[in-house]
Structure 1
Amino acid sequence: MYGTATATLAATVTKSGGFGFIGGGFDFTSSSSQLSTLEKELLKARELLGLKALPEQDSNEREFDSLPIGVGFLTFHNDDPSGLIPLIRRHRPVAVWLFAPAGDQHTRLIKEIKSAGCEWNLKIFVQIGSVHTAVEAINDGADVIVVQGSDAGGHQFANNSSIITLLPEVVDAIQNSQKEIFILAAGGIMDGRGIAAALALGASGVVMGTRFAATVESEASRATKSVLVSTKDGGVSTAKSVVHDALQGRGDLWPLKYDGRAVICDPYKDVLAGAMPVEQASARQKKATSESDTSGMVVWAGAGIGLIQDIRNAGEVVEQSRLEAIRVLNLLSKF
């Protein structure tokens, strides 16, 4: 959710009793403009949460609050944390989320990030899409495994399954490892019913991406939010494909083992039907986006999109989802 989940959304979720993340991008080298943007968002989050301001760069002060939000990074481009480590030490986020390695980047990254954050017990979240990648993440030192099923919006493993089958198998594999690992479920969860189902499958909690993209605090455009609310029957209105990236002109950005789920738009239909080459469809998509033409835009969204009825405050989504999950679980306990 890079560009969508910023300080305002993350801080609101955390203040409401959830745990917010800021999308940090995929370049965490010392010259990264993405990290410069992230630093501004972290400073804003500290202010929104009413925390003490950071000490000056040359100060010897060490007693200041850690930041009760997380930052997330895509890791397929490099494992050079030269820009990331100083930022983590300065801002003290309590969690770092990693996803999409092209090779063994996480082996080095997790070790160095955890070492940088050991003073305030920083936790590492790793998003996975199979039992094999879950075991790899555990061996690399992850504290939290985010089990992402195929119903998820945005990018994911091209070969995966829904959390209905994937989550219980990952739970069993982690229990067999005899390590204390927390498990979160992600993929198509939009309300308390989905939360209750994930908890029944063995998760400790859930991740909700698409639902929070459709909130007041989200940085998604007005046109994007309109699509998120108006699209129904998400199982057939969205599709997992690398074509979505090609339409956005970044077909070479992601390794082939990842694709993404988005709402099916007209340029996508034209490419699949062979009625238009990708280059022409991409230009059409770009024009549609600039003009807020929702019929031609790529909008990343999970298969549960049909459950989104309106644009609400993020805090309200947290609270209502929690209460609905409790209601459903109490109802099930009577059987």
Structure 2
Amino acid sequence: MLGRLHSYKCPHRGCSNGGASGGLLAAQVTAGGGFGFLAAGYRSAASLINELSLARGLLHLTPSDPLPIGVGYLAWQLEEPTANPEALLSAALDNHVQAIWLAFGNNLKEWIKFIRNYDAQHKRARPTTIFVPVSSVEEALVASDEWKVDVLVAQGNESGGHGYGSAPPLFTLVSSILAALPKGGPPVLAAGGLATESLYSDAQKKALVAAKHDMTVRTMAFDHARGTLHWPAGVDGRGLYNHTVKDMDNGVDVETVKVKFEAGVRDGDPDRMLVWSGMGVGLVSEIKSAEEVIHELGDDILQRLKVASELAR
């Protein structure tokens, strides 16, 4: 069921800049019956370890227990000259997370190899499940046939946040990938146009609830405002259109845009701050807890399966 936002308030400074996941939210999703992910994002290894500790505590697990959540990495950050990719990846692997998500990098094959080697060296009974988002049939075949990833995530053009502007709509993308994959290929999940969970601030959540279907736009305006311009070629972000985007489109000086953007973040002003959002935002109607969202999704799936089985009789 679409149209729900998790109501947990982010305890970390800077979450209102667009961060939408954390250790507690991931654990709450898992506790509710789903499989939670948290974003490594712009965190240090130490910060990521702290988030994983929060998740472990909420799930009442010991340090040696497998941690039933995943960690998502922006692969281009692992590839920065000043990065310490081994430390960032090991922060998750040493904490026995069950899955890692790798996106938006030029060398994903190397990070997949690192994870596979880690699992082999540590003789993990259950290898780390590797998720990779794809935006074309060609990407899906490389990830499946060459990289041997475990799960493909088809990200359509409707998706909120960063993605490839050239991606087709989700329905077309998923159908094309399923038709092209060989028998026995990895499972394909869909991303884009969905609206369920978020660690956004109250101001951001209210903006999402108030937004209509036609209020999102693909843009690099927020990356200019935040100074996060290291994305691979062809990647931009979909978010709510506001004065930050309007100023960039109208040629306002970048430094002026930055100052106004930062003030908007401090003041919780949705007309300046970043609110990543997909085209499904018009379906968002209320704010509920992560556990309630997962239960509603599960109930909705069961109901639809029941209806489908009755039609097939």
> Which TM-score bucket, shorter chain as reference?
0.7 to 0.9
List per-residue Cα deviations over 1:271-301 (Å, max 9, x = no partner). 32x2633432332222212111122222111
Are positions 1:130 and 2:146 aligned together? Answer: no
Match of 2:157 in 1: 150
Distance 2:50 2:77 in 1: 23
TM-score normalised to the size of structure 2?
Answer: 0.85
Q: RMSD over aligned Cα, in angstroms? A: 2.0
Per the alignment, in what secondary structure is the counterpart of residue 268 of structure 1? helix
Residue from 244, 247, 268 that aligns with 2:225: 247
Are positions 1:258 and 2:235 aligned together? Answer: yes
1:155-234 alignment, distance < 5 Å: 155-174=162-181, 176=182, 178-190=183-195, 211-213=196-198, 218=199, 220-232=200-212, 234=213
Gaps of 5+ in 1: 27-32, 55-63, 191-210
Q: Which has the higher contact order (CA 8 A, sep 6+)?
A: 2
Distance 1:275 1:44 in 2: 43
- Checking the alignment, whether the CA contact within 8 Å between 1:248 and 1:298 is kept in structure 2 is no
After superposition, the Cα gap between the structure-2 partners of 1:271 and 1:87, relative to the gap in structure 1 and judged at 3 Å, is closer
Gaps of 5+ in 2: 1-14
Distance 2:245 2:85 in 1: 36
Per the alignment, in what secondary structure is the counterpart of residue 65 of structure 2? coil
Number of residues of Structure 1 aligned to a counterpart in Structure 2: 286
- Checking the alignment, whether the CA contact within 8 Å between 2:221 and 2:244 is kept in structure 1 is no
List per-residue Cα deviations over 1:190-217 (Å, max 9, x = no partner). 3xxxxxxxxxxxxxxxxxxxx211xxxx
1:1-335 alignment, distance < 5 Å: 3-25=19-41, 34-52=44-62, 54=63, 64-79=64-79, 81-101=85-105, 103=106, 105-118=107-120, 119=124, 120-138=126-144, 139-174=146-181, 176=182, 178-190=183-195, 211-213=196-198, 218=199, 220-232=200-212, 234=213, 236-250=214-228, 252-272=229-249, 274=250, 276-335=252-311
**1:257 positional shift:** 1.6
TM-score normalised to the size of structure 1?
Answer: 0.80
After superposition, the Cα gap between the structure-2 partners of 1:229 and 1:83, relative to the gap in structure 1 and judged at 3 Å, is same
- Checking the alignment, whether the CA contact within 8 Å between 1:229 and 1:308 is kept in structure 2 is yes
- Checking the alignment, whether the CA contact within 8 Å between 1:114 and 1:124 is kept in structure 2 is no
What is the identity, as a one-letter code, of the residue corresponding to 1:241?
T
Distance 1:85 1:328 in 2: 39
Moved over 3 A (4+): 77-81, 332-335
Distance 1:34 1:303 in 2: 31
- Checking the alignment, whether the CA contact within 8 Å between 1:153 and 1:303 is kept in structure 2 is yes
